[in-house]
């Protein structure tokens, strides 16, 4: 049985895609079979970040309609053994609830299924969040982004899954000047466990060098691999 890590947020642009991709790469490096499902909507940023946008032509909607096999719509990520990419973002208006069967099938084909979800309440009703074993809420340490997660948690909160917070783009200098919240205060406001705090790091900027996998050295990457290890240990 695979574990599903669902990466979501209340507001846009907080780092869901960056985190989902980085966690998927970290889990693959830990010798797990990993599928990363880009369900983030038409921005479908994962394929762009990986430089795979011209390769990915089949979508989970094609699989759900019976037109193609699931295997045909799984794309190995170059230079990352064990990681395959699937897209549920190529078509506008796919009702993600139609994909529940496909998600189950994807889960049976890997150890870890990472979901890069759309922002906010779009995830409601589509069933994807409900299938996660780990619900990872990403937020920046600012009031607007934290309040947006609070609203999402209020509507999607589940007692049968592990819910945790990742604070992204944290800057100590901003915290000292009162521009950003303290990550522990974020967790307290949201009354949810703090899984990790990822610092602001230019090396994490997606799409700067397409095809470049996240990884390497530095505080941001070491925090992401620590988060991945923690999640893997819970599996």
Q: How far is the CB of 125 from Mg ion (least distance, A)?
A: 19
Q: How far is the CB of 108 from ligand ATP (least distance, A)?
A: 27
Q: How far is the CB of 67 from Mg ion (least distance, A)?
A: 26
Residue 137 · residue 152 · CB < 8 Å: yes
- The answer to whether residue 216 forms part of the interface with ligand ATP (CB under 6 A) is no
- The answer to whether residue 18 forms part of the interface with ligand ATP (CB under 6 A) is yes
Site of tokens 């309040």: 147
Residues 34, 26: Cα–Cα separation, whole Å: 10
Q: Which does 131 bind (CB under 5 to 8 A by kind): ligand ATP, Mg ion, none?
A: none
Residues 45, 47: Cα–Cα separation, whole Å: 6
**Cross-strand bridge partners of residue 8:** 137
SS3 (DSSP) at 132: coil
- Scanning 26-34, 153-161, 178-186, 203-211 for contacts with ligand ATP by CB under 6 A, the matching segment is 203-211
- The answer to whether residue 206 forms part of the interface with ligand ATP (CB under 6 A) is yes
Number of residues that bind ligand ATP (CB under 6 A): 22
Q: How far is the CB of 62 from ligand ATP (least distance, A)?
A: 22
Question: Helix, strand, coil % (nearest 5) of the chain?
Answer: 40, 20, 40
Q: Which is nearer to ligand ATP, 40 or 192 (by Cβ)?
A: 40
- The answer to whether residue 87 forms part of the interface with ligand ATP (CB under 6 A) is no
- The answer to whether residue 15 forms part of the interface with ligand ATP (CB under 6 A) is yes
- The answer to whether residue 17 forms part of the interface with ligand ATP (CB under 6 A) is yes
175 CB-contact burial (10 Å; exposed 0-12 / middle 13-18 / buried 19+) = middle
43 CB-contact burial (10 Å; exposed 0-12 / middle 13-18 / buried 19+) = middle
Residues binding ligand ATP (CB under 6 A)? 9, 12-18, 40, 43, 45, 119, 168-169, 198, 200-202, 204-206, 220
């Amino acid at each position: 049985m695979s574990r599903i890590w669902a990466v979501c947020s209340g507001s846009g642009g907080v780092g869901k895609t960056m985190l989902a991709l980085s966690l998927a790469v970290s889990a693959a490096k830990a010798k797990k079979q990993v599928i990363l499902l880009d369900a983030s909507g038409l921005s479908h940023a994962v394929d762009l970040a990986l430089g795979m946008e011209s390769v990915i032509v089949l979508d989970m909607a094609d699989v759900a309609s019976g037109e193609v096999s699931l295997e045909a719509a799984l794309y190995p990520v170059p230079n990352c053994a064990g990681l395959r990419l699937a897209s549920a973002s190529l078509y506008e208006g796919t009702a993600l609830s139609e994909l529940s069967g496909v998600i189950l099938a994807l889960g049976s084909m890997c150890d870890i299924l990472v979901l890069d979800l759309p922002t906010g309440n779009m995830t409601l009703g589509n069933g994807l969040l409900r299938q996660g074993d780990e619900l990872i809420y990403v937020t920046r340490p600012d009031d607007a982004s934290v309040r947006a997660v609070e609203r999402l948690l209020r509507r999607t909160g589940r007692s049968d899954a592990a819910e945790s917070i990742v604070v992204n783009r944290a800057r100590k200098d901003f915290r000292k000047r009162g521009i950003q919240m303290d990550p522990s205060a974020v967790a307290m406001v949201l009354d949810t466990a703090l899984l990790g705090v990822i610092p602001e790091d230019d090396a994490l900027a997606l799409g700067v060098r397409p095809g470049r996998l996240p990884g390497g050295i530095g505080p941001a990457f070491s925090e992401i691999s620590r988060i991945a290890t923690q999640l893997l240990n819970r599996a």
